[in-house]
Amino acid sequence: MLDIKLIRENSKLVKENIKKRFQKDKLKYVDEVLEKDKQYRKLLYDMEQLKHKRNLVSKEINELRKEGKNIKKKVLEAKKIPEKLKGKEEKVIKLKQEIKELLCKIPNIIHNSVPLGEDHTKNVEIEKIGKPKKFNFDVKSHVELTENLGIVDFDASARVSGNGFFYLKGDLARLNQALIRFGIDFMLKKGYLFVEPPLMIREEVLNGVYSHEEIEEMSYKVDGEDLYLIATSEHPLIGMFINQTVDAEELPLKICSYSQCFRKEIGSHGIDEKGLFRTHQFNKVEMVVLCGAKDSYKFYDEMLNISKDIFKQLEIPTRVLECCSGDLGDLKAKSCDLEYWSPRKKDYNEFCSLTNMEEAQARRLNIRADDKGDRFYVHTLNNTAIATSRAMVAILENNQTKDGEIIVPKVLQKYLGGLKIIKKRKR
């Protein structure tokens, strides 16, 4: 959410930014919010005038009373003022909410380093990490591999929960836990505070991180409660600070967490009928940073390097894509995706996303810092450390053998009691 003052003083910049995002249908919101802001400020001025008048009339009544003169006319005039004030106050409250709703529809200003492009096809490759392996046999999908090894059951999960769920068995379940423990240990070594968040959040928090459309598309609502299942632990981590002011000396706040996540995924991507890549329920280790504006992109680079280090250690061929202007969500000022190499598809697939929202998210959630009386909105950044289901897909596909077994990455072997190869599960 942008500062109304910025829109008021530089609407041309805001409109140019919308055009750079290829969202011309949102240009109308700038004019609408400016008109309502004009009405809002006029009402505030009128209210101040009425309060001033109320004070004058009260003073006149006191003077007339002292002089023994008739105060009936002035008393009648004074009685009308509160009613007028109440009417204007109601309009102010309504306008304030309408302005906030419009501000939430106006996209954040993109960072000047963001490449211009209409959609994801214009994203720019920054770097490749590791070389894809060459196989002298037909590469199997992770579904075929895991079912042949007897370490997953998609049919049972479909019977119990429907598509988009899974049962992990034996060494695959252990591999999932190994990835979680590795991710947490890695983040702790980088100086991040580990937090276990609640798995449900209130709508007030969700409105600060998602649009109404995203809530409808992604979030599971708890029937009869003001609660939603979390789609990512980023949301309750940021939500910890809603309507809070932190001491600027405490910045940066560097937090990591592990949680299960839940998504309806009603949109264009859909859900895998059978598989681990896109599911309704998954596990994720997440990282979040709250900081001042001057350090914002220093931590963006730090978080990117953390992700690159994680996937280097997992020995997964990876590339980094800079998201273009048309592929940025409205709250994002700058973002990049990390993608793993799929030898089956002979292409890269996303499994990590880094975002700097600058102060847009903090404005929506009212998160500030206090520097000896000088208050400012913090910058918020978030990044996936490891989404374990996608990491498992990457490991399964890239580390398969001709016999259909899976070589465990060296860095994970200690979490699996020294296990080096995942073989067919014995019944």
> Domain 4-103 has what CATH class?
mainly alpha
CA distance 209 to 203: 10
Q: Which two tokens mark 303?
A: 């978080």
* Whole-number pLDDT of residue 60: 84
pTM of the model: 0.89
Identify which of 336, 317, 338 has the alpha carbon closest to the alpha carbon of residue 395.
317
Tell me, letter by letter, the H, E, C secondary structure of the chain. CCCHHHHHHCHHHHHHHHHHCCCHHHHHHHHHHHHHHHHHHHHHHHHHHHHHHHHHHHHHHHHHHHCCCCCHHHHHHHHHHHHHHHHHHHHHHHHHHHHHHHHCCCCCCCCCCCCCCCCHHHCEEEEEECCCCCCCCCCCCHHHHHHHHCCEEHHHHHHHCCCCCCEECHHHHHHHHHHHHHHHHHHHHCCCEEECCCCEECHHHHHHHCCHHHHHHHCCECCCCCCEECCCCHHHHHHCCCCCEEEHHHCCEEEEEEEEEECCCCCCCCCCCCCCCCCCEEEEEEEEEEECHHHHHHHHHHHHHHHHHHHHHCCCCEEEEECCHHHCCCCCCEEEEEEEEECCCCEEEEEEEEEECCCHHHHHHCCEEEECCEEEECEEEEEEEEEHHHHHHHHHHHCECCCCCEECCHHHHHHHCCCCEECCCCC
Tokens matching residue 305:
């390097």
Beta-carbon contacts of 28 under 8 Å, excluding residues fewer than 6 positions away, are none
pLDDT of residue 9: 93
Q: Which residues of 377-409 are buried (b: 16+ CB within 10 A; e: fewer)?
A: bbbbbbbbbbbbbbbbbbbbbbbbeeeeebebb
How far CA 347 is from CA of 311, 320, 352, 397, in Å, comes to 17, 13, 16, 12
Amino acid at 119: D
Q: Which residues contact 330 (CB under 8 A, 6 or more apart)?
A: 105, 106, 107, 108, 211
What's the pLDDT score for residue 427?
A: 67
CATH 1.10.287.40 spans which residues of the chain?
Answer: 4-103
Going by C-alpha positions, the residue among 373, 404, 391 that lies closest to residue 178 is 391
Q: Residue 153's pLDDT is what?
A: 94
| Digitized pLDDT (tens) for each residue of the chain, 427 residues in all | 899 999 999 999 999 999 999 999 999 999 999 999 999 999 999 999 988 888 888 888 888 888 888 888 888 888 888 888 888 899 999 999 999 989 999 999 999 999 999 999 999 999 999 999 999 999 999 999 999 999 999 999 999 999 889 999 999 999 999 999 999 999 999 999 999 999 999 999 998 887 777 788 889 999 999 999 999 999 999 999 999 999 999 999 999 999 999 998 755 455 667 888 889 999 999 999 999 999 999 999 999 999 999 999 999 999 999 999 999 999 999 999 999 999 998 999 988 899 999 999 999 999 999 999 999 999 999 999 999 999 999 999 999 999 999 999 999 999 999 999 999 877 6
- Looking at the chain, the domain(s) classified CATH 3.30.930.10 span 120-422
| Residue among 334, 292, 359, 361 at smallest CA distance from 110 | 334
CATH match of 120-422 with 3.30.750.24: no
pLDDT at 272: 64
Amino acid at the residue 159? R
8 Å CB contact between 14 and 106: yes
Burial class (CB in 10 A: 0-12, 13-18, 19+), 370: middle
